[in-house]
A and B are shown apart, each in its own frame.
Chain A
Amino acid sequence: MSGRRGRISDDEINELISKLQALLPETSRRRNASRSSASKLLKETCSYIKSLHREVDDLSDRLSELMSTMDNDSPQAEIIRSLLR
């Protein structure tokens, strides 16, 4: 593992990690002390992605419901369909 790190360079990893950190919801990330632990960060990312997935699913459901209420020929329907694809 450390060998691989050498090739990739720790700096890159750190940079990526900070980028990832920036993307994550900033809730309770004021103190950057322990949160920045790599494993914690990864864990947060995983859970965040999962929550986003859930949200997407939920929104998809809502959109499909909406689509059923409107005529399929309208542009809105197309928009929604595009969103649902």
Chain B
Amino acid sequence: MDLFPVSSCGGADACFDSVGRRSRPGDELAELLWDNGPALRRTPHFPPPFQPFTCSAAGSSRAHELSKRHAAAVPMDDDVGLPVHHHDEDDDAVPWLHCPVIDDGDSDTAPLPPEYCAGLLSGYSGLHAVPVPPTSGIEQRPSSNGAVVVPTARAVPTETAAAALPQPSAGGGEGVVNFTFFSRPLQRPQVSAAPPSNPVEPTVMQKAASRLRSTPLFSEQRMAWLQPPPPKAPRATAAAPTSATEHHRHAEAAAKVTQHRLQPNPRAPDATAAVTTSSVCSGNGDRTQARRSSHQTTAECSDGDDEGGAMRRSAARGTKRTRPAEVHNLSERRRRDRINEKMRALQELIPNCNKIDKASMLEEAIEYLKTLQLQVQMMSMGPGLCVPPMLLPAMQHMQMPHMPHFPHLGMGLGFGMGAAAFDMLPRLAGTQFPCPMMPGAPPMAMPPGSMFGLPGQATFPHFSGFAPAEQMQAAAPASGGAAGAGDHPPVPVTTQGEQKLQHPKQT
């Protein structure tokens, strides 16, 4: 994406690869040129007024500023000088970031606290010198340059990347001097990364290039807190790419960059991973956050990434916890998260459940489950209630008086009584009838009678009508409800016939 139309900043995701930024060689060069000296920045669109150093002034001014504020070097706007529209977010962190960095979003060059920068700057100090002797400086600290180059890719559009990476050949030859400057570091770790992910890396690279100072500072910063600042060079490089990535395709760039970083440094994987994660996370949502505090970012990322980020973060920190404990904690947390998730799902299923604590929620779930089971049983029995009267019209007038018994169960008393009635059936059926499970079993006719307290024989005629339903009742609870529910509807009809036949036998 073009962070800035003029490509002043090479886009946030300007990665190593300058391909992405090829479009604006001119602008990018302008960005790059800041290293050499103030002049070149001709990006007109850069908003001149940015605080401490005009971003618009392109990197040059920024670069100078950087050198000036050595100690307090806040991560120069990632986009360094470029109209950092991206850095809008960084404003809070670093006032000078107001420069409308073109990068939207991102900013890896997020304004890192001065302390961060200090660390980076140490590395940069060498770099600072670089601008003056661009080539020489870069040579000295290829790594740092690389880092710088990468993160500041934003500021440095394709050109930088192009310059940096001969392969991408993005930019023109304008910043030749600068490019060589950039190319060195880029070539090193990022170069490898760049080619693979052109769109992302070029941006990063570009950004890094343009922002030599800023990015590395802040990226280093991030790395720094992640791990005891290892040699600046590797860190910077790693950091730079990571930060750059955030701008745009953090995922891509970060991964690539991280990979590179990982290789050289065994520990880096953790850190870079964490950083990457953070950058990715930040890229997704809060670039500023990530930049601002890589630390936080990681945390956020870990939250987002769940254990992965957390693990990495912890691992990166290293000293805080032991691995096994960490792993255990993570797995424990995972398990708990799963359970919580299921509890939430359960809560949604249960109507009118406003309990938050587990125990009461479980209780409600249990109650609800029972209610549902009952309801299903009742409903499956519904047709049975109606069928007998329909099938035995002759008995209807006799059944009618007895019907209320059941209606009482079904209607007046709601499920509670139904439950009671049902509960009774199984017991009665079990004791009095050898086959309570059989919905169609004639013996089932008895239980209803006993249930209602009516003389079994006298009520047989009724039971012919009720029997099927009652059989279903007995059968339903006996069979556990769900299983029998499906059978009930058809059962009453068939049982009816049987009932009639068998009634005489029973009596």
Contact residues in B for A26 (Cβ distance below 8 Å): 480
> What 0/1 pattern do residues 17 to 35 of A give for CB contact below 8 A with B?
1011001111000000000
Taking a contact as CB atoms closer than 8 A, the residue among A52, A76, A79 that contacts B372 in the complex is A52
- Taken together as a complex, chains A and B put the C-alpha atoms of A16 and B369 apart, in Å, by 13
- The answer to whether A59 touches B376 (Cβ under 8 A) is yes
Q: B395 at the A/B interface (Cβ < 8 Å)? A: no
Q: Could you tell me if B410 and A76 are in contact, using CB atoms closer than 8 angstroms?
A: no
Q: Which residue of A lies closest to B335 (CB)?
A: A39
Partner of B345, one of A25, A46, A78: A46
Given A23-B373, A49-B350, A75-B403, the answer on whether A16 and B386 have CB atoms closer than 8 Å is no
**In the complex, A84 Cα to B400 Cα: how many Å?**
21
- In the bound assembly, the distance between CA atoms of A52 and B489 in angstroms comes to 17
* Contact in complex: A39, B342 (CB < 8 Å): yes
Contact pick for B379, options A1, A42, A48, A56, CB 8 Å = A56
Give the residues in chain A near B378, CB-CB below 8 Å: 83
Interface string of B401-427 (1 = CB under 8 A from A): 001101100110000000000000000
Residues in chain A near residue B365, CB distance under 8 A: 20, 45, 49
Q: Any chain A CB within 8 A of the CB of B122?
A: no
Cross-chain contact A46 with B359 (CB below 8 angstroms): no
CA distance A66 to B369 in the complex (A): 26
- For residue B385, CB closer than 8 A to chain A, the reply is yes
The proximity string for A residues 59-72 relative to B, scoring 1 for CB distances below 8 Å and 0 otherwise, is: 11011001000100
Question: Which residues of the partner chain B approach A82 to less than 8 Å between Cβ atoms?
Answer: 407, 410-411
Contact B386 A79 (CB under 8 A): yes
The majority secondary structure among interface residues of chain A is: helix
B501: CB under 8 A from chain A?
no
In the complex, the answer to whether B343 meets A42 with C-beta atoms within 8 Å is: yes
In whole angstroms, how far apart are the Cα atoms of A34 and B44 in the complex?
67
Please, how many angstroms separate the alpha-carbon atoms of A17 and B372 in the complex? 18
A26 to B489, CA, bound (A): 23
Given A20-B365, A49-B349, A82-B410, decide whether A70 and B386 contact each other with a Cβ distance below 8 A.
yes
How many residue pairs link A and B with beta carbons under 8 A? The number is 125
A13 to B376, CA, bound (A): 27
User: Contact: A59 with B339, CB < 8 Å?
Assistant: no
Nearest chain A CB to B491 CB, angstrom units? 14
Q: Are B382 and A45 in contact (CB under 8 A)?
A: no
Q: Check if A80 sits within 8 Å of B358, measured CB to CB.
A: no
B433 sits at the interface (CB 8 A): no
* With A20-B366, A60-B379: A45-B346 Cβ-Cβ less than 8 Å: yes
Contact status B339-A80, CB under 8 Å: no
- Of the candidates A8, A45, A49, the one whose C-beta lies within 8 Å of that of B358 is A8
Contact B482 A55 (CB under 8 A): yes
Contact A66–B383 (Cβ < 8 Å)? yes
Is A63 a contact of B480 with CB atoms below 8 Å?
no
CB-defined interface of B482-496 with A at 8 Å, one 1/0 digit per residue?
A: 100100010000000
**How far is it, in angstroms, between the C-alpha of A70 and the C-alpha of B404 when the chains are bound?**
18
Within 8 Å CB of B202, what residues of A?
A: none
With a cutoff of 8 Å between Cβ atoms, the chain A residues found around residue B359 in the complex are 8, 12-13, 16
A49 touches B379 (CB 8 A): no
CB contacts under 8 Å to A, within B361-401, are 362-363, 365-366, 368-370, 372-373, 375-376, 378-380, 382-383, 385-386, 389-390, 400
How far is A45 from B370 in the complex, measured between Cα atoms in Å? 12
- Complex CA distance for A82 and B379, rounded to whole angstroms: 10
Min CB gap B346→A, angstroms: 5
A52 touches B373 (CB 8 A): yes
* Contacts known (A8-B358, A17-B362); A74 close to B389, Cβ less than 8 A: yes
B-side contacts of A50, CB under 8 Å = 349
Interface residues in B78-122 by Cβ distance below 8 A to A read: none
Is A55 in contact with B376, judged by CB distance below 8 angstroms?
yes
Measured between C-beta atoms, what is the minimum distance from A43 to chain B in Å? 5
Residues of B within 8 A of A83 (CB): 375, 378-379, 382, 410
Contact among A16, A70, A75, A80 for B363, CB-based, below 8 A:
A16
Chain A residues, Cβ within 8 Å of B368: 49
Contact residue among B338, B411, B482 (Cβ-Cβ distance under 8 Å from A79): B411
Q: Are A79 and B383 in contact (CB under 8 A)?
A: no
- Is B336 an interface position by the 8 A CB rule? yes
Please give me the residue from chain B that is nearest to A38 by CB atom.
B339
| Min C-beta distance of B204 to chain A, whole Å | 40
Evaluate contact between B480 and A25: CB separation under 8 angstroms: yes
Q: Which residues of A contact B362 (CB under 8 A)?
A: 13, 16-17, 19-20
Q: Which 7 A-B pairs have the closest CB atoms?
A: A76-B386, A42-B342, A59-B379, A16-B362, A82-B411, A52-B372, A39-B338
Chain A residues with CB under 8 Å of chain B are 1, 4-5, 7-8, 12-13, 16-17, 19-20, 23-26, 38-39, 42-43, 45-46, 48-50, 52-53, 55-56, 59-60, 62-63, 66, 70, 74-80, 82-84
Please name 16 pairs of A and B residues whose Cβ atoms are closer than 8 Å in the assembled complex, sorted by A: A5-B358, A16-B366, A26-B480, A42-B345, A49-B368, A49-B369, A49-B372, A52-B369, A52-B373, A55-B485, A56-B375, A59-B376, A59-B380, A62-B382, A80-B385, A83-B410
